[in-house]
Structure 1
Amino acid sequence: MFGCAGCGAVLTAAVSEVALPVHWTDAHWETLHPPLLEAGCYAVDPEPYGPPWRQEDEVGASEAAERGWFAPFGALSYGPTGTVLLAPGDLRGTRLILERAAGYCMGIDGRDGPNLACVGCDLPVATRMDDCGCWQVVLLDPEAVVRLPAPPELPVMDWTELLATDALWHRLSAFRDIPAGAALAQVVVAAGGEPVEAAPGPVAELLGRTLGALMPAGEGAKRLDLAGPGFGERAADLVLVPVHPQTGEVWQPRGGAVPVPTDAALWSELAFPPHRTRLPAVGGLPAGAERDDPLPPHPAYPIGPSHAAFRHTLARMPAVREPWLRAIYDRGW
C-alpha cells in the first residue's frame, strides 16, 4: 500500500507485489493496450525512469555500462529508480493535472511528467498513461510516495498452484511478440554463437525462422525445446522455462540443459496451447439461428518475436559486447 509523501493520504489499496512484466519494455504503435497489471497488484521497476534524459553521445560507453546498458539504445533515463506500477483502476485520491494531460491521439502518454496530483495536498504523485502505443498503467513517483502499513500480501503460489488456477495466463493476445523477442535474445546469448535447432511444434513456429536468420548454419546445432512444471523435460541443450509471475524466479531444470527464462504467460501458451474447437466441414446452423460461440483462437497472421524487445533485452546483457553478438545486435533480421 502506498500513500502521498506530502499528506499521507492513501493512494492505492494494491497490496500484492508481482514481478515486473517483461512486456513493459515494448508496445505496439497506434494500438490501444489493456492494463499492464491485474487489479490489486503492483510491480516495481528497478531501472531509472523518466526525465532527465541524456543522449548516447553525451554519456559514453563506460558510463552507460555502469547504468546497465551495454549497447547503444537511444537516450538514457537519469530519473529515479523504484517507480511503482499499478493498474489505473487501483488508484484513488488523485486529480488530473490538465496542463500535463498531453497525448498523441487517444489518451495521455505522460510526456509532460507526473500528471496526477494528490487531492489532499496537490503534490504531483503519479503519471497515468493510456494513449495508443502505451500500456494502460499508473506510475507512482518514488520520490513523492511512501509505503504505508498494509494487510498481508497474497501468499506466493508454487508452480502446481499456478498451473491449477490458470494464474500463468495473461491477456497477451497479439502482444505475445514482445515476450517472444525477449526470450529470443536469451536464446541467442545462451547459444554462444553456435547453430540452434528449434524443436518442431510451437517453439519452431514462434522462433525457428528468426533463429535461422540470426544464427549460423551447420552441424552440431544446439536443440531448443520446452521444459517446466507440469510439462517435464525433453532431451535438449537449451530449454525455454517459465519465470514465476510473482517472484521473478526462473524455473530450474534438473537435467543438464541450459534454462532460458521466458515470460510465464508465453511459456504456458507454448507448453499448453489453447484448445481449438474443430468445426464441422459440412452442415450449418438452422435457418434463423445465430452463432453465439467464439471463433477458434487462430491468429489472423503468424506472430513472430518483436525486434524492439529483442534489441532492448540484448542491450541490457553484458554479452552483447562480444563481437559476434554485437554484429547480430546491429544487423537484426
Structure 2
Amino acid sequence: MACVACGLLVATRIDDCSLWQAVWLAPNAVRRLPVEGSDAGLLSWADLLAEGAGVPPPEPIAPWGEPFRASDRWHWSPQWVAAAGQALAHLLVASEGQAVAVQDGLTATMFQRALDTWLPTGRPTRRAVLAGPGQPARTADADILFVPSHPQTGKAWTPAAPASLVPLPFGVWLRLVVSEPQLPVPASGSIPDGVLRDDPPTPRVHDVFQFDWEVFHRTLTRLPAVRTPWLREIAERFTQ
C-alpha cells in the first residue's frame, strides 16, 4: 500500500480468502495522530477487563457464500493458532531447555503436546501458569508466566516480582483466565438489561490443536536466545 500524495510505500495488506485479513503499517513510514472526535486515551488494564473483549477459541466453518447453520463444523480460531505459535517460541526460550508443565485446561491444550515433544521429560520441571491484572497471586512457585499484551501498545503486563514472561494477545489471554459465562437457568421471555443471554455454550473443537508453524519459526529466529545450540536445532528443522 502506498501514500496517494507521494507514492511512499507505507503498509502491506493481506487480503486473501485463505488468510487472516490485515494491514501491517511500516513503522518507519507512518506516525500516530489523534483524530477529532475519537477517544485517543490509553486504556488501563482495569478498563480492558471491564470491556471483556475476549476472542473465542473456535470459529464455525460455513459453506462459502452461505449463512452459518448449527450443523456446520467448528475449528480453532486463526487468532488463537497464530497467538500460540508466537507464545510457544517465547515459552521454549523461558524453559531454558528443561521440562515445562503447563496448568491444566485450554492452556495445556495449546502448548503441552509441543513441549513434551521438544523438551526432555522428568525433573527438574519448570511450571508455567497464567498471570496478569485482576488475577489472584498464585505465582509464587511458578517459573514462567503467561501474561497479556496491551492491545494498544503491544507491551506485556509486568508483575511486581521478576519472572520469565510469555506474552499472549489480550483477547486470547482473557478467554484463558475467564470462563465463558453461562446462565444456570435459561431465561424466558424478553431479556432485561443486565441479564446474560441464555445462548448455548460455544461448541467444542474436536480437532487436535495445531499452532501456526510459520509464526512460531519467524518469532523464534528473531529472539536472541535462538543462538543456543538446542534452540538453533529446532529452528533449523523449519528451513530444511
TM-score, normalised via structure 1 length:
0.53
Question: 1:23-44: per-residue Cα shift (whole Å, max 9, x none)?
Answer: xxxxxxxxxxxxxxxxxxxxxx
Where does residue 191 of structure 2 map in the other structure?
none
* Correspondence 1:5 to 2:5: yes
Could you tell me whether the CA contact under 8 Å between 1:6 and 1:144 is conserved in 2?
Answer: no
Could you tell me whether the CA contact under 8 Å between 1:240 and 1:261 is conserved in 2?
Answer: yes
Matches within 5 A, 1:105-124: none
Residue number among 182, 185, 205 corresponding to 2:109 in the alignment: 205
Report the alpha carbon displacement of residue 133 of structure 1 after superposing the two structures with TM.
Answer: 2.4
Residue number among 15, 19, 23 corresponding to 1:130 in the alignment: 15
Letter in structure 1 aligned against 2:158 = Q
Where does residue 52 of structure 1 map in the other structure?
none
Report the alpha carbon displacement of residue 183 of structure 1 after superposing the two structures with TM.
Answer: 0.5
Letter in structure 1 aligned against 2:91 = V
Where does residue 223 of structure 1 map in the other structure?
127
Q: 1:199 to 1:275 in 2, by over 3 A?
A: same
Where does residue 231 of structure 2 map in the other structure?
325
Gaps of 5+ in 2: 59-76, 187-197
* Correspondence 1:166 to 2:52: yes
Where does residue 258 of structure 1 map in the other structure?
164
Could you tell me whether the CA contact under 8 Å between 1:233 and 1:253 is conserved in 2?
Answer: no
Question: 1:208-243: per-residue Cα shift (whole Å, max 9, x none)?
Answer: 111111111221111011100112332310010001
Matched residues in 2 for 1:147 and 1:225: separation? 35
Where does residue 65 of structure 1 map in the other structure?
none
Gaps of 5+ in 1: 8-78, 85-126, 281-291
Question: 1:134-168: per-residue Cα shift (whole Å, max 9, x none)?
Answer: 3323567889989877326521110011000124x
Matched residues in 1 for 2:172 and 2:151: separation? 11
Count of equivalent residues: 204
Matched residues in 2 for 1:236 and 1:196: separation? 11
Q: 1:276 to 1:323 in 2, by over 3 A?
A: farther
Could you tell me whether the CA contact under 8 Å between 1:179 and 1:262 is conserved in 2?
Answer: yes
- Aligned-pair Cα RMSD in Å: 3.5
Letter in structure 2 aligned against 1:184 = L
TM-score, normalised via structure 2 length:
0.71
Identical amino acids, percent of aligned pairs: 38
Where does residue 44 of structure 1 map in the other structure?
none
Report the alpha carbon displacement of residue 193 of structure 1 after superposing the two structures with TM.
Answer: 1.2
Report the alpha carbon displacement of residue 251 of structure 1 after superposing the two structures with TM.
Answer: 0.4
Matches within 5 A, 1:178-217: 178-217=82-121
Letter in structure 2 aligned against 1:164 = A
